[in-house]
Amino acid sequence: MSFAEALALFTAQLRANPAAPRPPLVFETLDQLHEWKMLSRAFDQAQLDLGIVTPAEMQRLNSVVQVDHATAHRVIRYEQYV
């Protein structure tokens, strides 16, 4: 399945049911991992295209580490700490 085919499939599924599930995380080979990653990207793009999630929400959902920007500490000038 190509990215365009997966995007069309997920777009149709999400139009019918905005709560449609993500592609299952099941793989045994590297090729299956690549296929899953492509399907996940197509699913995410379909959600963005249909306005189900915003880019900021998508970033939060797909991030490994959740950051609370209100309390996150930021380094203003990195060179002073080197």
pLDDT tens string 35-82: 888 888 888 889 899 888 899 888 888 787 766 666 666 656 667 666
- Residue 66 identity: Q
pTM here?
Answer: 0.65
Whether the per-residue pLDDT at 24 is higher than 80: the answer is no
Q: Which two tokens stand for residue 61?
A: 């959902």
Instruction: Say which residue the tokens 């929400």 belong to.
Output: 57
Residues 6+ apart with CB under 8 A from 49: 7, 11
Whether the per-residue pLDDT at 32 is higher than 70: the answer is yes
